[in-house]
Amino acid sequence: MTTEPTLLPNARDHALLRNILLKLTATQKIIATAVVVIVTLIWYDLLNRLLAFGGAIDYAALHVLGAEGSALLQRYNPFFWWATIVLCTIIIAYFLYLFVRSTAQRTRQRPIDQHSVTQLCQGLSAPALDVLLWAWQNRSEPLRIGDLQRTRNELRAHRATKLQHAARQLAMIEEARRKHDPI
C-alpha cells in the first residue's frame, strides 16, 4: 500500500491568518486595554485616598466602647481598610474580566469583510483552505472572526493532517463497501 504525501499548511498561511485577525480585532483589543488601564489608574487613586481616610480615623471619641475597645479598634483599623480594598479590587477585577470577555465575544460574532475573504482565498494554501472550510460550520451565515480564530487554532493543532487522514480512510471504506456491495 502506498501512502499519499500529506500536504501541510505553511508558515505563510499562519502569517496571513495572524495578520488578518490582528487587523480585524485590533480595535477591540485597544479599547479593552484602554478601559482596563483607565479603571486601574482610577482605582489606584481611590484606594490611596481610602487608605488615607481610614488611617486618619480616630476612635478615641467613642466613649461607649471604653478605652480598651477604642484601642482595639485603633489597632485593627488598618486591617479593616486593607480587607475592604482587597474585596473591592476582586470585584473590580471580576467586572473588568467580564467586560473584556464580552467584547471579545462580540468581536468573534462580527462578519469578515470581503477584502479579507479575498486575501484568504488568494493567500491560503489548499490544506489551510480545507481547515477554514472545516471551521466554518454554519455555512448559511457569512464567515465570522470566530471562524478565523478557530481556523488559526486548528492549523496549530495540525487539523489539515487529520482532515487528510480522515479523507483517505473514508475513501478506503467506500472502496471496500463497493467491493462488497456490487450494484
pLDDT in tens, 21-57: 999 999 999 999 999 999 999 999 999 999 888 877 7
| Assigned domain for 156 exists | yes
Query: What residue numbers bound the domain in which 118 lies?
Result: 11-180
| Assigned domain for 3 exists | no
Q: Confirm if 108 and 119 have CB atoms less than 8 A apart.
A: no
pLDDT of residue 55: 78
The residue among 148, 178, 124 whose CA lies nearest residue 22 is: 148
| Assigned domain for 149 exists | yes
pLDDT of residue 1: 40
Decide if pLDDT at 97 tops 90: yes
| Mean pLDDT of the chain, nearest integer | 89
Decide if pLDDT at 2 tops 50: no
| Assigned domain for 127 exists | yes
| Assigned domain for 1 exists | no
pLDDT of residue 123: 94
| Assigned domain for 171 exists | yes
The residue among 90, 85, 16 whose CA lies nearest residue 45 is: 85
| CA 95-98-100 angle, 5° bins | 110
| Assigned domain for 94 exists | yes
Question: pLDDT over 70 for what percent of the chain?
Answer: 92
Task: Tell me what the mean pLDDT of segment 101-129 comes to.
Answer: 95
Task: Tell me what the mean pLDDT of segment 167-175 comes to.
Answer: 92
pLDDT of residue 63: 66
The total number of structural domains in the chain stands at: 1
| Assigned domain for 111 exists | yes
Q: How far apart are CA 124 and CA 23, in angstroms?
A: 17
- In the chain, the amino acid numbered 104 is A
The residue among 116, 109, 110 whose CA lies nearest residue 20 is: 116
Q: Confirm if 134 and 159 have CB atoms less than 8 A apart.
A: yes
Q: How far apart are CA 134 and CA 3, in angstroms?
A: 23
pTM attached to this predicted model: 0.77
